[in-house]
Structure 1
């Protein structure tokens, strides 16, 4: 019974982790109008959050070993909640940047520690569903902010609402702290996975960096597409901004829905097969979306197909880390993976912007296809090593 209660808390924690994602983008037009900031000033906040999140991810393993996963998650939630509430009371832009520091640190620590905890104690099915619940949070957060913007209260009410939700979760986490140390279950071996060998391969040092590199490539492709798809649809496919926004929402929605669907078959297929199938499907979808001159309907179908292909890649790669490496090493590698994921989600999409300025918007998606093909090669090499 305690096992299932804790699993429910873990799911809710990932909804909470996803809540702030995407909120800043929705609220920024109103925030910058209130504070008299240029459009590009949001980059200072996002870079601050990214650097802090990546740093927290890299050190999460050491902190978890000292105080435990539950304490890290509860403490991190207690950092992000006041930061979000503080956003609504910030008197100037400089305060927003300062508040982005605890917000980034808290998010990065939760991400790395929860991913390792689920990989170590639950099956691939739950890892996919875990990231599906992140999508629920990432969809709900902008919805809450959108409702606040539509009301007289404005963006400050949205930030406060999300902050108080996080604060409520922090209280629940502290009250249930003892449950985390009682979780000693191990995930079942997936039907599609390899049997445990009699002689485990020694860990090759290059694998400790190759595994994180796969996350840089994957998140760069997923987030780069999410960031620039609307511009591509408007600038080269003739859609309106409203239509383009809908299709980008469907792209992220297909990733979320795909993760819940994949969870039903994940234990039967195994992580490695899911990763190969997912990357292959995402590559086909990205290639269709990249083709210039195709009918808009086909182009948009390619975008959704890419989202469905992306669905199992991140959670399956993350879950497989606990099988590739011994537990202490896996914890460290997962921290690196999250750090590389944050870098891939921020630096590479920004480079896409420079590429689009220099060579045009049609140059973006062919690079995404190359990233996915390189990811396929990297995961094949990593499978051979581990």
Structure 2
């Protein structure tokens, strides 16, 4: 039964990835239909992310009070509502109403399932889990591209909602598997620490800043990569531009797949450091002043590959770094910090590119990559002073 439950968890993360890349893929066409500036995508993205912050901050309490499987089912239901709402939106301002369930559905499911896997599975499983997130995030730009070719952008959201409904049905049918897979964990989760004591733990603030920086760069790519090609390259069709939304997600999926296979030989720290080096190489490719789009596309794919192992490695380290008692709150805080970055920084970039030009995107990504690695290294130094930390790392890497 354990393997069947793990398969369902992988499917859940496909569902988590499905909504994330639709706005970026469809926005070059959506903004024309709504008659708004390109930068207005940032406000919609900010609203979705703000609601995700709220649900992520509530997740430690939810995890103590509600079983993981019910958090998953309600959360997927909320994303379906948001997707269907986007599909019927005839005006830009209506998107904000449906951004509320769209965002609320993501935060709680992300925190609860990451907490469950970090405490019960290996680093390889965590990377495979986030690899399946990439599967979902790659599928949806393809759905949007097909919708733009055959119908309108609205159908891209509607078809994705139908796919989410199928995943929700599987999750409901899997409820007996969760009951058998829970064992003695419910009592342990009831005794887990809250946000107040957790945020005072050594190194927590640094890791939150690092997570903020990582997700600021990641979310900027999610939203603006298609617009980057629309603004810097000529002669590209709407369908081709929309398909570029899959580059980062495809890279994330590939990077996490590679990380899963090498996780037994490399600890979480080394995977993060190698990932950031690869990410910087990808940014350099994007910076090359070439007329065609191919090298830039390869560059963003490489950026995604480099980013791939960073997110799951940071989350997988939470129980080792801070202890199981604090891991639920740490992961909830990490998710909230991540979505603060996802909320504000794509919007900031939207305003920046509106005033300077979208060509500034690689420079923007470089800033957050440097910030990410700097605060992760500060986290390691802070934790290295804690008694027994080195021994725990050696036993769990």
Same fold (TM over 0.5): yes
Task: Choose from 281, 285, 297 the match for 2:282.
Answer: 285
If asked which structure has higher relative contact order (CA below 8 Å, sep 6+), I would say 2
CA drift of 1:295 comes to 9.8
Q: Cα RMSD between the aligned structures?
A: 3.3
2:210 is aligned with 1:214: yes
Match of 1:166 in 2: 164
Task: Choose from 365, 382, 394 the match for 1:385.
Answer: 382
- TM-aligned CA distance change 1:25 to 1:277, over 3 Å: closer
Q: Aligned partners of 1:43, 1:308: CA distance in 2, in Å?
A: 24
Q: Aligned partners of 2:355, 2:92: CA distance in 1, in Å?
A: 31
Aligned residues of 1:287 and 1:369 also touching (Cα < 8 A): no
Unaligned regions of 5+ residues in structure 2, if any? 185-197, 384-397
Match of 2:59 in 1: 60
3-state SS of paired residue (1:144): helix
CA drift of 1:228 comes to 4.7
Match of 2:14 in 1: 15
CA drift of 1:303 comes to 3.8
Q: Aligned partners of 2:217, 2:9: CA distance in 1, in Å?
A: 27
Unaligned regions of 5+ residues in structure 1, if any? 187-201
Task: For 1:250-261, list aligned pairs within 5 A.
Answer: 250-261=247-258
118-127 vs 373-382, which moves further: 373-382
CA drift of 1:108 comes to 1.4
Aligned residues of 1:19 and 1:138 also touching (Cα < 8 A): yes
Aligned residues of 1:355 and 1:364 also touching (Cα < 8 A): no
C-alpha distance after superposition, 1:60-79 (max 9, x if no partner): 11101101211111111122
CA drift of 1:349 comes to 2.8
Task: For 1:1-386, list aligned pairs within 5 A.
Answer: 2-28=1-27, 36-39=34-37, 42-90=41-89, 95-152=94-151, 154-183=152-181, 205-225=201-221, 227-229=223-225, 240-241=235-236, 249-290=246-287, 301-358=298-355, 361=358, 363-386=360-383
**TM-score relative to the length of structure 1:** 0.82
Aligned residues of 2:24 and 2:245 also touching (Cα < 8 A): no
C-alpha distance after superposition, 1:6-25 (max 9, x if no partner): 10001101111111222234
Q: Aligned partners of 2:223, 2:289: CA distance in 1, in Å?
A: 19
CA drift of 1:128 comes to 1.1
Q: Aligned partners of 1:165, 1:102: CA distance in 2, in Å?
A: 17
CA drift of 1:208 comes to 2.0
Q: Aligned partners of 1:247, 1:66: CA distance in 2, in Å?
A: 41
CA drift of 1:213 comes to 1.3
Q: Aligned partners of 1:87, 1:301: CA distance in 2, in Å?
A: 31
- TM-aligned CA distance change 1:214 to 1:185, over 3 Å: farther
274-283 vs 3-12, which moves further: 274-283
**TM-score relative to the length of structure 2:** 0.80
Q: Aligned partners of 1:260, 1:375: CA distance in 2, in Å?
A: 22
Aligned residues of 2:202 and 2:382 also touching (Cα < 8 A): no
Aligned residues of 2:318 and 2:331 also touching (Cα < 8 A): yes
257-266 vs 158-167, which moves further: 158-167
Aligned length: 367
Aligned residues of 2:278 and 2:306 also touching (Cα < 8 A): yes
